[in-house]
C-alpha cells in the first residue's frame, strides 16, 4: 500500500505518547480528533481498533494475538541482538517491556549508525506504516497450532527490527495487551463526531450506527469515507450483532407505571442468558449480551430457532433459560455455565436442557424493527415465531394499576422468574440499541438484604491486606460508571465476602491490569496501594446505600460534598459477562439511593462509609 492512503506509524506512536501525559478527557478528545483527521479513510478502521486495544471486534470470533510474555522477550532479544536475560532485566529496571524494547532498540540503532559511518554505506530504512504494523499483528494473531509460537516470535521481531525506539514501545505494549491508553468508546465517538460530523451534535448519529454495527472501526470508515448522511441510512444486518437495549431498575410499582407513561407491558424477567439470534435461511448465529458468538454452546437453540423463526432473514432476542428435564421448572442461570465448557456439549445439552423465551424482534425480511414501537414489534414477533418445544415467547400482560403489577410480579416470582420487566408501549417505545433507559424497567425481587438489588462495580484499585491477609491483596476499590462523563467514580472499598480461594486468586486476576498511575478515566479521592485499569466487574451487595465524602460517585447529585457509597459491602462474584461500561451507572445508584430513602423515610441513614 502506498503511503498516500496510509499513515506513518510514527504519527500513532506520537499520539500515544501525548495521551500518556494528559489529565483530562477534553484533552484526550482533542488529541484524538487531530489524529482522526490526519488518517486516510482507507485505514481509519485499523487506527480505531488499535486505539481500542484490539485487532477486530470480539464478535467476529477471530483469534487474539496470543503472544506469551516469554515470546515477546525473545522477539525483542532477536531484534536487538541481546540475550533474553538482558531484555528481562531491562524491563525490570524500566518498569515494562515496552520501555525495555525502546531502550534496547535505541542502543542497537546507535551501533548500526556507527557501523554505517565506519563502512560508509547509507542505511535505507523504510518508514513503518499503520497498515504494515496492523497486517503483521493480524498475521501474528492468525498463526495458530503447531509451530505458531516460532512464527509469532519471528513476525514480531521482524516488525521491531523495522521500528523506531518509540514505535517499538507501543508495538510491544499492544502485543502485551498493556497499551492502556484509557480511551473509552464514548470518547472515541465524540472524537469521530467532531472530526467528521461537524461537531458533538453529530454524536447521536455515530452512536446509533455503532449500536447497530458494534464495530467502531467500521463506523469510522463509513463516516470518514462517505460522510455522516451515509451513517443515518444504516439498517441492521443479519450476522452483525446489535448492541442490546438495557433496562433501568426500580422497585416501586406506582412510580414504575408513571415512568412508562401509565400503562405497562409487563413480562417475566427470566434468569438466564440473553441471546440475540440471527437467522438467514437455515443458518443461525447466537450472540451473547456481550456480543460474543456463543452459537457452539447452544446447538439445541440453533435447531429450535431454525424451525421456529419463520422468516428468511430475522434478528430476534430472548433469554435462554435452563430447565429441569424432569419437571420443566426453571433452574438458576449458573447452570448455563456448564455450556461454556467446549467439550462434550451434546452431553450437557441432554443433562441441562434449555428453553428460549423471545421478547423482541429487531429485524425481519428487510424491515428495521428497531425504530418501531413495542406493540408493533410484538405483533411481528408473534407472526413470525411458531412456538416449539424449546422456543417460546415471553409471558406478558398489559397493566394499568400498581396492584395488577404487583400481582403479576408475585406470580412471576412464584414461577421461578427473577422479577418482571416493565416496558413502555407508547408511540416512542422504540428499541434503543446500546442504551439503558426508562423504556424498560426491571423490577426484581429482593430477599437478600436492605439493599434493593446487587450492584455490578468496576475494580479500579487494590489495597494490601493486613494480619491474616498480610502479603496479599485484602480489599478492592470499586467504582460505578458515569456514562455522561465516560468516567469511573469510586463507590466503596470492599474487603468482605471473599473466600480464601478468591483472595488467593486475586493477584493473578489483577496482574494484567495493574497500572503505575491513576487511570485517566478514574475519578477518586482515595489513593489505593495499586491502581487497576477499569476492566474487571464484580457483583456486590451491602447493607444499604449511604453518603460518603470519601467517594466520588454522583457527587453533587444528592449532596454537594458527598458521593454515594455502600455500607458493609460484600463481594458476591465476578461478572465476567460484563465489560466496565456495562457496570451499574452512577445515575442508577442515584435512583437506587432515592428509592431507598423513600423506603426508610422515617429514619434516613447517612452514615459514612469507607
Spatial CA neighbour of 209 closest among 349, 368, 336, 348: 368
CB of 266 to ligand ATP, least distance (A): 9
Q: Grid coordinates 409471558 are at which residue? A: 395
If one asks whether residue 442 binds ligand ATP (CB under 6 A), the answer comes out as yes
CA distance 419 to 446: 9
Nearer to ligand ATP by C-beta: 152 or 372? Answer: 372
The answer to whether 588 contacts ligand ATP (rule: CB under 6 A) is no
- Among residues 225, 239, 323, 357, which one has the least CA distance to residue 287? 239
Q: Quote the DSSP letter at residue 585.
A: B
Q: How far apart are CA 461 and CA 513, in angstroms?
A: 10
* Half-sphere CA count of 570, side-chain side, radius 13 A: 13
220 binds ligand ATP (CB under 6 A): no
Alpha-carbon span 45 to 239, nearest angstrom: 19
Helix/strand/coil for 446: coil
Instruction: For the CB of residue 390, give the shortest distance to ligand ATP in the complex, in Å.
Output: 16
Contact 360, 377 (CB under 8 A): yes
Query: Is 289 annotated among the ligand-binding residues?
Result: yes
Report the relative pairing of strands 273-280 and 283-287 from DSSP bridges.
antiparallel
Q: Smaller CB distance to ligand ATP: residue 270 or 369?
A: 270
Asked if 319 is part of the footprint of ligand ATP (rule: CB under 6 A), the reply reads yes
Give the nearer residue to ligand ATP in terms of CB position, either 166 or 289.
289
Residue with cell 554505506: 121
Segment interacting with ligand ATP (CB under 6 A) among 147-155, 174-182, 263-271, 299-307: 263-271
3-state DSSP assignment of residue 240 = coil
Q: Which three cell numbers stand for residue 48?
A: 480505531
Marked catalytic residue, from 269, 444, 493, 578:
269
Write down the H helix ranges in 321-448. Answer: 345-351, 374-384, 402-414
Size of interface with ligand ATP, in residues (CB under 6 A): 13
Q: Which is nearer to ligand ATP, 290 or 493 (CB)?
A: 290
Task: Give me the least distance between CB of 419 and ligand ATP, in Å please.
Answer: 9
**Angle at 605 (CA atoms; ends 600, 610), nearest 5 degrees:** 135
Rounded CA gap, 494 and 492, in Å?
A: 6
Is 505 an annotated catalytic residue? no
591 annotated ligand-binding residue: no
Interface characters, 347-366, with ligand ATP (x: CB under 6 A): ------------x-------
Least distance CB 422 / ligand ATP (angstroms): 10
When asked if residue 247 is in the footprint of ligand ATP (CB under 6 A), the reply is yes
Q: Does 377 carry a binding-site annotation?
A: no
Find the binder of ligand ATP among 394, 555, 589, 592 (CB under 6 A). 394
| Cell numbers representing residue 609 in the block | 462509609
Rounded to a whole number of angstroms, the minimum distance from the CB of residue 332 to ligand ATP is: 12
- Residues 264 to 303 in contact with ligand ATP, rule: CB under 6 A: 267-270, 274, 289
Closest to ligand ATP by CB, 6 or 456: 456
Residue of 423, 50, 57 whose CA lies nearest to 247: 423
Please pick, from the candidates 189, 214, 284, 421, the single residue that binds ligand ATP as defined by CB under 6 A: 421
Q: Is 218 in the site for ligand ATP (CB under 6 A)?
A: no
The answer to whether the annotation marks 267 as part of a ligand binding site is yes
Nearer to ligand ATP, 19 or 494 (CB): 494
**What is the smallest separation between the CB atom of 39 and ligand ATP, expressed in angstroms?**
34
Instruction: Give CA angle at 534 (530, 540), nearest 5°.
Output: 90
Scored b (16 or more CB within 10 A) or e, 402-413 reads: bebbeebbeebb
Strands 436-444 and 246-249: what pairing? parallel
Residue 356 Cβ, how far from ligand ATP at the closest point, in Å? Answer: 11
Q: Which residues of 323-339 are buried (b: 16+ CB within 10 A; e: fewer)?
A: beeeeeebbebebbebb
Whether 319 has a binding-site annotation, put simply, is yes
* 88 is known to lie in a ligand binding site: no
* Known binding residues: 267, 274, 289, 319, 359, 436, 442
Binding site for ligand ATP (CB under 6 A): 246-247, 267-270, 274, 289, 319, 359, 394, 421, 442
Residues designated as active site: 269
* Known binding residues for ATP: 267, 274, 289, 319, 359, 436, 442
Amino acid at each position: 500500500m502506498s503511503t498516500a492512503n496510509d499513515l506513518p506509524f510514527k504519527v500513532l506512536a506520537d499520539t500515544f505518547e501525548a495521551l500518556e501525559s494528559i489529565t483530562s478527557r477534553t484533552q484526550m478528545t482533542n488529541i484524538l480528533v487531530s489524529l482522526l483527521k490526519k488518517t486516510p479513510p482507507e485505514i481509519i478502521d485499523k487506527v480505531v481498533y488499535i486505539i481500542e486495544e484490539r485487532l477486530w471486534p470480539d464478535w467476529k470470533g477471530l483469534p487474539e494475538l496470543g503472544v506469551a510474555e516469554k515470546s515477546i522477550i525473545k522477539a525483542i532479544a532477536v531484534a536487538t541482538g541481546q540475550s533474553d536475560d538482558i531484555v528481562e532485566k531491562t524491563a525490570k529496571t524500566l518498569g515494562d517491556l515496552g520501555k525495555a524494547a525502546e531502550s534496547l532498540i535505541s542502543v542497537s540503532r546507535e551501533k548500526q549508525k556507527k557501523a554505517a559511518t565506519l563502512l560508509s554505506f547509507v542505511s535505507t530504512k523504510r518508514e513503518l506504516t499503520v497498515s504494515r504494523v496492523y497486517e503483521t499483528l493480524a498475521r501474528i494473531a492468525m498463526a495458530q497450532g503447531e509451530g505458531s509460537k516460532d512464527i509469532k516470535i519471528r513476525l514480531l521481531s521482524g516488525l521491531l527490527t523495522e521500528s523506531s525506539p518509540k514505535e517499538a514501545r507501543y508495538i510491544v505494549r499492544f502485543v502485551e495487551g498493556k497499551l492502556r491508553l484509557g480511551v473509552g468508546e464514548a470518547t472515541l465517538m465524540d472524537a469521530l463526531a467532531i472530526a467528521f460530523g461537524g461537531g458533538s451534535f453529530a454524536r447521536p448519529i455515530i452512536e446509533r450506527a455503532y449500536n447497530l454495527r458494534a464495530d467502531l472501526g467500521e463506523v469510522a470508515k463509513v463516516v470518514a469515507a462517505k460522510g455522516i448522511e451515509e451513517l443515518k441510512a444504516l439498517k441492521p444486518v443479519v450476522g452483525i450483532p446489535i448492541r442490546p437495549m438495557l433496562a433501568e431498575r426500580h422497585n416501586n410499582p406506582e412510580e414504575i407505571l408513571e415512568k412508562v407513561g401509565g400503562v405497562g407491558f409487563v413480562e417475566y424477567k427470566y434468569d438466564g442468558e440473553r441471546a440475540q439470534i440471527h437467522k438467514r435461511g437455515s443458518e443461525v448465529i447466537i450472540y451473547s449480551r456481550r456480543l460474543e458468538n456463543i452459537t457452539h454452546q447452544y446447538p439445541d437453540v440453533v435447531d429450535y430457532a431454525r424451525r421456529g423463526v419463520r422468516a428468511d432473514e430475522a434478528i430476534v432476542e430472548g433469554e435462554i433459560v435452563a430447565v429441569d428435564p424432569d419437571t420443566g421448572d426453571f433452574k438458576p442461570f449458573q447452570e448455563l455455565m456448564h455450556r461454556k465448557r467446549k467439550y462434550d456439549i451434546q452431553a450437557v445439552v441432554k443433562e441441562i436442557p434449555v428453553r428460549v423465551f423471545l421478547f423482541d424482534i429487531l429485524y425481519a425480511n428487510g424491515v428495521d424493527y428497531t425504530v418501531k414501537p413495542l406493540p408493533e414489534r410484538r405483533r411481528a414477533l408473534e407472526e413470525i415465531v411458531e412456538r416449539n418445544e424449546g422456543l417460546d415467547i415471553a409471558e406478558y400482560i398489559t397493566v394499568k394499576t400498581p396492584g395488577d403489577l404487583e400481582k403479576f410480579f408475585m406470580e412471576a416470582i412464584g414461577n421461578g422468574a427473577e422479577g418482571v420487566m416493565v416496558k413502555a408501549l407508547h408511540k416512542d417505545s422504540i428499541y434503543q440499541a446500546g442504551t439503558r433507559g426508562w423504556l424498560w424497567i426491571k423490577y426484581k425481587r429482593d430477599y437478600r438484604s436492605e439493599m434493593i438489588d446487587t450492584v455490578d462495580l468496576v475494580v479500579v484499585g487494590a489495597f494490601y491486606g493486613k494480619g491474616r491477609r498480610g502479603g496479599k491483596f485484602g480489599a478492592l476499590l470499586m467504582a460505578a460508571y458515569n456514562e455522561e462523563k465516560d468516567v469511573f467514580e469510586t463507590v466503596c472499598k470492599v474487603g468482605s465476602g471473599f473466600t480464601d480461594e478468591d483472595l488467593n486468586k486475586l493477584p493473578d486476576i489483577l496482574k494484567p491490569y495493574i497500572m503505575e498511575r491513576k487511570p485517566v478515566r478514574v475519578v477518586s479521592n482515595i489513593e489505593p496501594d495499586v491502581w487497576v485499569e477499569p476492566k474487571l466487574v464484580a457483583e456486590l451487595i451491602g447493607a444499604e446505600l449511604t453518603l460518603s465524602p470519601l467517594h466520588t460517585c454522583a457527587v453533587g447529585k444528592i449532596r454537594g460534598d458527598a458521593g454515594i457509597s455502600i455500607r458493609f459491602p460484600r463481594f458476591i462474584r465476578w461478572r465476567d459477562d460484563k465489560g466496565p461500561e456495562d457496570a451499574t451507572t452512577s445515575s442508577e445508584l442515584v435512583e437506587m439511593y432515592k428509592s431507598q430513602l423513600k423506603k426508610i423515610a422515617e429514619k434516613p441513614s447517612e452514615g459514612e462509609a469507607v
